[in-house]
């Protein structure tokens, strides 16, 4: 296995130092349109399938850049046919990918997502090259220029921990989107400034069941015993936040016609990071992130920006 830096970063992506650094996954998504998601042992005939640039790291970086905020991503792709497609996705999103490496002998990350008639989905990811990311890919020089660092759980936790340590020493705000949820085995919770989770992840991390805006608020408060500040997204019900100072905020969901929920969480996280990086007040940043996520779920996949 060998690692090489990816070359040819678009000039417009590097014109300004990145205010948001996203360290995370890049996935080549295969999306299947079907009437329902299969149960165990069941086969369902789908209607169509398409491919798409994805991965939480990639999606969140593109969402942050869409706010007009210079954004860089730290990640890895394999030396297969999926790798160039993922690089092209970052280029279309005008994300600085100087710190994306190409790993030989390992396939790129990928996922298969099945969407049903209600606009919901289930997915399986294969991490591939994302597991080859090392902390040194996010250099101190890169982090020192940033305002906000974004992490997720689609890369090894030890990498997140090491990068978050560097960010804390440099005074960079760290956001962790703990998705998919998993038990913590390092000191990462102590290094995170803002935890963002959805209803399922909040419950899996010990926040209790989330079925409404009120229960989301309760989950955020319980999780704040472990994290400085917590944001719990409750789908169409809205967003709740709570921090250790006792500050609480609840934002009702926006009423939209749901076409597909795929990518809504990543749009929320990336937008919030971008708005915080430019100095928006936290509640205002949450409101803009909520609006952008609502806009996404009401937009057909084919009309969404790359």
230 part of a folded domain: no
203 part of a folded domain: no
Residues 34-56 pLDDT 10s:
999 988 999 999 999 989 999 99
Q: How far is CA 246 from CA 84, 127, 178, 221, 289, in A?
A: 46, 38, 22, 8, 22
87 part of a folded domain: yes
- Separation CA 177–CA 159 (nearest Å): 14
Q: Is 243 an active-site residue?
A: no
96 part of a folded domain: yes
Predicted confidence band of residue 261 (pLDDT cuts 50, 70, 90): low
Closest CA to 38 of 119, 120, 124, 122: 122
> The tokens of 38 are what?
């299969």
Residues 200-226 pLDDT 10s:
999 999 999 999 999 999 999 999 999
> How far out from the chain centre does Cα 232 lie?
14
Q: Which of 29, 96, 237, 266 is catalytic?
A: 266
178 lies in which domain range? 17-39+46-192+254-303
Q: How much is the pLDDT for 121? A: 80
214 part of a folded domain: no
* Domains in the chain, number: 1
93 part of a folded domain: yes
Q: Model-level pTM?
A: 0.89
> The tokens of 229 are what?
């500040």
**For the domain that residue 127 is a member of, what is the CATH number?**
3.40.1190.20
Q: How far is CA 67 from CA 95, 244, 254, in A?
A: 12, 29, 20
Residues 139-180 pLDDT 10s:
989 999 999 999 999 999 999 999 999 999 999 999 999 999
Say if residue 302 is exposed, middle or buried (CB neighbours under 10 Å; 0-12, 13-18, 19+).
Answer: exposed
Do 189 and 197 touch, CB atoms closer than 8 A?
no
């Amino acid at each position: 296995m060998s690692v090489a830096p990816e070359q040819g970063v678009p000039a417009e992506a590097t014109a300004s130092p990145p205010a948001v650094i996203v360290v995370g996954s890049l996935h080549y998504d295969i999306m299947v349109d079907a009437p329902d998601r299969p149960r165990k042992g069941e086969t369902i005939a789908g209607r169509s399938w398409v491919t798409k640039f994805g991965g939480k790291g990639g999606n969140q970086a593109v969402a942050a850049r869409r706010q007009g905020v210079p954004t860089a991503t730290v990640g890895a792709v394999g030396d297969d046919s999926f790798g160039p497609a993922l690089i092209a996705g970052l280029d279309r999103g005008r994300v600085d990918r100087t710190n994306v490496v190409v790993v030989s002998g390992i396939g790129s990350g990928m996922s298969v997502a099945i969407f049903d008639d209600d606009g919901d989905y289930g997915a399986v990811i294969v991490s591939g090259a994302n597991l080859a990311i090392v902390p040194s890919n996010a250099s101190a020089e890169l982090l020192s220029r940033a305002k906000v660092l974004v992490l997720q759980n689609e890369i090894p936790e030890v990498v997140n921990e090491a990068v978050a340590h560097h960010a804390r020493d440099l005074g960079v705000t760290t956001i962790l989107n703990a998705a998919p949820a998993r038990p913590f085995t390092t000191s990462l919770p102590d290094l995170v400034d803002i935890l963002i989770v959805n209803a399922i992840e909040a419950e899996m991390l010990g926040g209790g069941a989330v079925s409404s805006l009120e229960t989301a608020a309760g989950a955020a408060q319980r999780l704040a015993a472990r994290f400085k500040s917590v944001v719990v997204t409750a789908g169409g019900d809205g967003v709740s936040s709570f921090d250790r100072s006792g500050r609480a905020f609840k934002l009702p969901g926006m009423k939209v016609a749901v076409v597909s929920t795929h990518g809504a969480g990543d749009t929320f996280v990336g937008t919030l990071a971008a708005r915080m990086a430019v100095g928006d007040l936290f509640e205002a940043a949450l409101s803009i992130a909520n609006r952008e996520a609502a806009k996404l779920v009401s937009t057909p996949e084919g009309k969404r920006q790359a």
